[in-house]
Amino acid sequence: MFDIASCLSGHDPDALPVPVARQAIARLLPAPPAAESVPLRESLGRVLAEDIVSGLQVPPQDNAAMDGYALRGTDLAGEGPTRLTIAGTSLAGDQPAAELPPGHCRRIMTGAAMPDGLDTVVPQEFVQRDDTQGCIVIPAGVLKPGANRRLAGEDLALGEVALRAGRRLAPADLGLMASLGKAEVPVRRRLRVAILATGDELRPVGTTPLPPGCIYDSNRHTMWAMLQRLGVCEVLDHGVVADDPAALRAAFTRAAAEADVVISSGGVSVGEADHTKAVMAELGEVLFWKLAMRPGRPLAIGRIGEALLFGLPGNPVAVMVSFYAFVREALLALAGATPAPLPLLRARLTSPLRKKAGRTEYQRGIVGRAADGGGWQVEITGSQGSGVLSSMSRANGLLVLDHAAGDLPAGAEVDVIPFEGLI
């Protein structure tokens, strides 16, 4: 794993730029897990393991796009009205009707198969019916031959790749696979991700009263929730671990043995005198990074046994920011997903912002439409301390302030990762 050192060479080890760290992590990732077959609905959010090739045409036959009358385009009069005799009705689900003699049309409903030889549908609201004669009259110029007919295979052609392997399956994809008749879908096995929180001060929720000097462990719950939202993980909760070498050794060993990825929080701070770093270094190959970012400067990254390790900082906002800056992308790639950058909004700052050049800053903001209709604007959610989790909870987006940027005036455009669909 330490061939990633070449990625890092030439960079300040005390201020590793975020993009460099991301590239280095991408080189650490082992192959994705094996494939398994799941029922269609269980595939939502999972990573497709094989291309889905269309085994039929969708739609399977030409059919009507409107309620009206099916006719032969060549029967439409060049000038003046067209008069056609009505011959029967085709409903959705009926077998395609046999060909009609020239000068005839057939009542047809949306989705019904086009009768053989007919290629055009005139919507019912365009025609006058002459029920005494069993005829319709179509005024001149209301439609062209071929109108209002859906062609067989216009959605999916036979043999076409409908969905590519590596796709995270979304609602439309489930519908698309259903339209191909697929009841089972090949997906990657979920990543097994073990989470644990380290720190002597931490108590699990439900502990009452909270002893003096202690805090409730929130990180494990945020981590669990972020992992659930990713949709590609099975989360194994290894609880709160005290900052004690034997306890840490046992917890990390157990977690690494049963998981593809271990994610811990706490104990990796720069210059920290606790035992977490020592135990990680003893059990595996681990790098302790100091990143040029805020929040979330420290990050441990490496392997314990076969498992990939992410040692996140302890501060609750830093946990979330580090997860979205590094872990999310790595887990998706590890799960076999084709990389897709997060969509960013460009939004104008409502107030000036202090920003130190030479590090990437992630600030929590509320983004909305500007009152003047001129696109998006963003305001910061109060205190940006890395322990102030309420700043994250109040926000609906994360401002990503570029490594090189300095202080920004009101009105400056910044990148914002919207939480909708992510968090």
Residue 217 sits in the site that holds ligand AMP (CB under 6 A): yes
Quote the distance between the C-alpha of residue 269 and its chain's center.
Answer: 31
Smallest gap from Cβ 252 to ligand AMP, in A, equals: 15
Please state whether 45 falls in left (phi above 0), alpha (psi between -120 and 50) or beta. left
> 312: closest CA among 333, 330, 332, 298?
298
Residue 244 touches which of Mg ion, ligand AMP, none (CB < 5 to 8 A by kind)?
none
Contact set for ligand AMP, span 298-317 (CB under 6 A):
313-316
State how far the Cα of 266 lies from the Cα of 269, in Å rounded to an integer.
7
DSSP category for residue 43: G
Smallest gap from Cβ 312 to ligand AMP, in A, equals: 8
Minimum CB distance to Mg ion smaller for 33 or for 267: 267
Tokens 């909870």 belong to 393
Tokens of 141: 């110029």
Judge contact between 324 and 358, C-beta under 8 A: no
State how far the Cα of 27 lies from the Cα of 3, in Å rounded to an integer.
9
Antiparallel, parallel or unpaired: β 52-53 and 161-163: antiparallel
Among 17, 32, 153, 199, interactor with Mg ion by CB under 5 A? 199
Judge contact between 186 and 42, C-beta under 8 A: no
Smallest gap from Cβ 19 to ligand AMP, in A, equals: 24
Smallest gap from Cβ 198 to Mg ion, in A, equals: 6
Among 155, 201, 237, 415, interactor with ligand AMP by CB under 6 A? 201
> 178: closest CA among 164, 189, 163?
163
Q: Pick the stretch among 159-167, 211-219, 249-257, 328-336 that binds ligand AMP (CB under 6 A).
A: 211-219
Q: Pick the stretch among 89-97, 102-110, 199-207, 295-303 that binds Mg ion (CB under 5 A).
A: 199-207
Minimum CB distance to Mg ion smaller for 189 or for 275: 275
Minimum CB distance to Mg ion smaller for 243 or for 260: 243
Minimum CB distance to ligand AMP smaller for 98 or for 225: 225
Residue 361 sits in the site that holds ligand AMP (CB under 6 A): no
Tokens 């900082």 belong to 313
Q: Pick the stretch among 28-36, 153-161, 198-206, 411-419 that binds ligand AMP (CB under 6 A).
A: 198-206
Among 17, 32, 68, 199, interactor with ligand AMP by CB under 6 A? 199
Distances (CA, A) of 401 to 125, 293, 358: 57, 10, 10
Smallest gap from Cβ 1 to ligand AMP, in A, equals: 23
- The amino acid sitting at 170 is A
State how far the Cα of 241 lies from the Cα of 255, in Å rounded to an integer.
12
Counted residue by residue, the chain has a size of 423
Residue 265 touches which of Mg ion, ligand AMP, none (CB < 5 to 8 A by kind)?
ligand AMP
Tokens of 272: 């920290």
Among 17, 32, 266, 313, interactor with Mg ion by CB under 5 A? 266
Contact set for ligand AMP, span 253-292 (CB under 6 A):
265-267, 269, 272
Q: Pick the stretch among 13-21, 22-30, 150-158, 261-269 that binds Mg ion (CB under 5 A).
A: 261-269
Judge contact between 188 and 165, C-beta under 8 A: no
Q: Where does this chain bind ligand AMP (CB under 6 A)? A: 197, 199, 201-202, 215, 217-220, 265-267, 269, 272, 313-316, 387
Q: Where does this chain bind Mg ion (CB under 5 A)? A: 199, 266-267, 314
